Structure 1
């Protein structure tokens, strides 16, 4: 790529950001998630597209992805009502931990049988694609205005916002097994518990202090309130990570705690963080699109199709039905919808950069398969969510037309 002056580089960046927004809006008009437009524009601007931008810095992409996910999760937490969380906390946490583990296990077996991966490589691929993506789920539910009755939407949002830590932990564990031959699995359980407890504690502390600072200072009405909210998200993630906790969980809990406290600047902070989350999505998906070389995907079409359909029709449904079996308030219709609403987005692609940075064998194959899975599942599941909600009778307005089917009366 030719060297650009700072002025030209900033101009190109501005044009790319604006064009990405238009591409996302255009894809939404065709019933596709906005992330499809974001990714496609990034690929068009990349080395295989007319833009011709050569970008292959996986470490930088990983850093951009992590930074963007912090604000996406923080904003998602701010917009989540604590009353909804309390109602679905137990099933959501079971699904966010056990569900991810079950999905990862099934996908590991599939990768071992279909792709010839070693058990650890298969588990690495399974862990990367096992979690649903908070950015994709929040975006599709809110942009479509999908109004579901009962606790189904709360369950989907809380699960998607809290299952990334489990996926990240499993990816880290798989990388340790691959790169450190004498790594002991005995240390995994206490390490996982420590990460979750510290992440939740630090997130709660950061989320509690944000309103207190704004209440007691002169910044509650000015633009510096926005700066303080950004600082809260970054401190939550950074401090939790430094202490050995899970930074992504801390960012989500910080947003959840701050968003459910009353303070005078709460509305403008929420609006600002929502805009910042959208900017983070645009930047993240654009960067990921630039990183993708479409010509490299031709070799993974067949395995990508197989992995995608196993994930959508076997791994995700099995994990949902197993994890939600003890919770009778969710009937089979709700479980089926939750299974289908498990959208994949940027998180798996960001996680797929970890094996490349770590120098894991077959890392580039894993990356290309993960991107193919995300792209295909978004194009299939995203546009059909509204249709499925109608077919299953889960829309709130459908309650007016008649009673809920007997098998789902507990919804």
Structure 2
């Protein structure tokens, strides 16, 4: 029997379309694999990982060996919007509400006035270097004016860089909230260039207020609604993270459709979800780590595909000069003018200036003039591309060195520790977590668990033991504990290796009362302390440096020494120990004064502390 096909037979054009579809799928998946694998080499050799993704896209493009012809700015805008929305949601998810409250003033000014100042200065230089009229020149300034939240969050987290609390919080909040202002400024300038109506100063101010307020409102509604649904509905296992990512995109798209700032709405929604008790939070946060990675890969690979080196060459020299002006002049001037009223030190403002990295957002904004059909729109994309590459190479490669050199990067007081989390049905305030008991961790030194931790079981030498049967924890044990969700970060520090085990080369530990002045201690041991911290007490310094309330065994840097919290009462350090460590990295370790000078100085400090406590004690 012979089978006769029913309907029209596939022609060569249809088969060719199927082939192109499969080839596109192969390319996209292969590019993702290459980006993920190349990130390992980038981490090993210190190359900014985002540059690797950009390079993969360029190599695959029509000017590279891949030969893929790609010029779909509309698709790039769509994917870029979704990627940045997810990354901003993740940034809000990991930002504590207390952090926002503490730096709302300086971060808000920097995200609004700072963007305008940066755009104005950069635009004026662009007019001079590129010979453009004022509106196109200012449009270039607006495109590269905002710091990229994706890059800032990414580098701070993957680089393991622990910053002073106020500096880190300001950078996180600024980078998460300045994108909406840059987007709005870019759109307004495109309207002006196209001769659109309503482009006067009053219109711009009203548009900023409307989009920002609506964005916060929509983000708030979406965030609280998402928390309500997560805690009320019993979704199948594994769907909670996918539900949250999809909801973040719904919040973003809804805000954009009604004329609000979708990026700000996504950030606010993430902020609310991250600061409320939520079912399956552990799996949601873990999934978002992967999602942000994939978003970075997709965004920078697509942007690399759009790049054409032959179009960049004519504007390469002025674009490089513009990048230098942006890094050395425009960003620092805006930062110093905006933060001067908030009593930031010169070193802190210098570091915040240096960490104003440009990334995918700037190149993403550069696609808007092309989508709007502006003549000569390729100049915006090419200039933005050069600026971003220079920023990633120069600033991204030196962010760690700059932090240490300026004294705002600290050795992490909460080192990473391997943790296993198990969600408990119906329990929003407690989680089951597991930790290995490692040497040189506070848990190994003290053995006694905090009072709010409940042991569940212990794995020892391949055997599962009940807490009563296991007794005191031993090195190489793996324990599972029930603990409040709000205190897991503190439990991480308890089981993390902090490197504070006594060593032969370490000097003695000197105890100090929490009410004593940091400046007096620094003078006693010749420590280099910033002027903004000298007037603080030991207790105040711990509170200012740490993201959470201080706990016993918390550690902070004090110049070439370390302060360790020993006695903490009502979340306030009452007693701390100072350790001067002699390491290979600290060749210029200060030499302590003779013992008799130390004794006299300690006596003076003790008397001063007694007087402070006497005058401040309640009647």
Establish whether TM, by shorter chain, passes 0.5: yes
2:132 corresponds to 1:117: yes
Contact 2:80 2:299 in 1 (8 A): yes
Aligned pair count? Answer: 408
Find runs of 4+ consecutive structure 1 residues off by over 6 angstroms: 398-401
Q: Which structure would you say has the larger Rg?
A: 2
Give the Å deviation of 1:48.
0.8
What corresponds to 2:357 in structure 1?
Answer: 343
- 1:73-121: CA deviation from partner (whole Å, max 9, x where unpaired): 1111101111111111111111000100000000111111111111110
Cα gap change, 1:230 to 1:405, in 2 (>3 Å):
closer
Q: Within 1, Cα distance between the matches of 2:329 and 2:65?
A: 38
What corresponds to 1:272 in structure 2?
Answer: 287
2:406 corresponds to 1:392: yes
Q: Within 2, Cα distance between the matches of 1:63 and 1:345?
A: 17
- Counterparts of 1:395-410 in structure 2, within 5 Å, are 395-397=409-411, 402=527, 404-406=529-531, 409=534
**Range moving further from structure 2, 399-408 or 152-161:** 399-408
RMSD of aligned C-alpha atoms? 1.9
- TM-score, length basis structure 2: 0.64
Give the Å deviation of 1:26.
2.4
Give the Å deviation of 1:5.
4.9
What corresponds to 1:105 in structure 2?
Answer: 120
Q: Within 2, Cα distance between the matches of 1:409 and 1:54?
A: 59
Contact 1:210 1:228 in 2 (8 A): no
Contact 2:191 2:199 in 1 (8 A): no
Contact 1:96 1:160 in 2 (8 A): yes
Question: SS of the counterpart of 1:267?
Answer: helix
Q: Within 2, Cα distance between the matches of 1:272 and 1:158?
A: 22
Q: Within 2, Cα distance between the matches of 1:407 and 1:383?
A: 28
What corresponds to 2:211 in structure 1?
Answer: 195
Higher relative contact order (CA 8 A, sep 6+): 1
Structure with the bigger percentage of helix: 1
Contact 1:46 1:52 in 2 (8 A): yes
Q: Within 2, Cα distance between the matches of 1:286 and 1:101?
A: 29
- Give the unaligned 5+ runs of structure 2: 1-15, 413-517, 536-543, 545-619
Give the Å deviation of 1:25.
3.1
- TM-score, length basis structure 1: 0.95
Contact 1:42 1:286 in 2 (8 A): yes
What corresponds to 2:143 in structure 1?
Answer: 128
Structure with the bigger percentage of strand: 2
Contact 2:180 2:261 in 1 (8 A): yes
- Counterparts of 1:304-315 in structure 2, within 5 Å, are 304-315=319-330
What corresponds to 2:348 in structure 1?
Answer: 334
- Give the unaligned 5+ runs of structure 1: none
Q: Within 2, Cα distance between the matches of 1:306 and 1:91?
A: 29
Cα gap change, 1:21 to 1:187, in 2 (>3 Å):
same
Query: Of 141, 144, 155, which aligns to 2:170?
Result: 155
Give the Å deviation of 1:341.
0.4
**Range moving further from structure 2, 377-386 or 232-241:** 232-241
Query: Of 384, 391, 395, which aligns to 1:370?
Result: 384
Question: SS of the counterpart of 2:165?
Answer: coil
Give the Å deviation of 1:404.
2.0
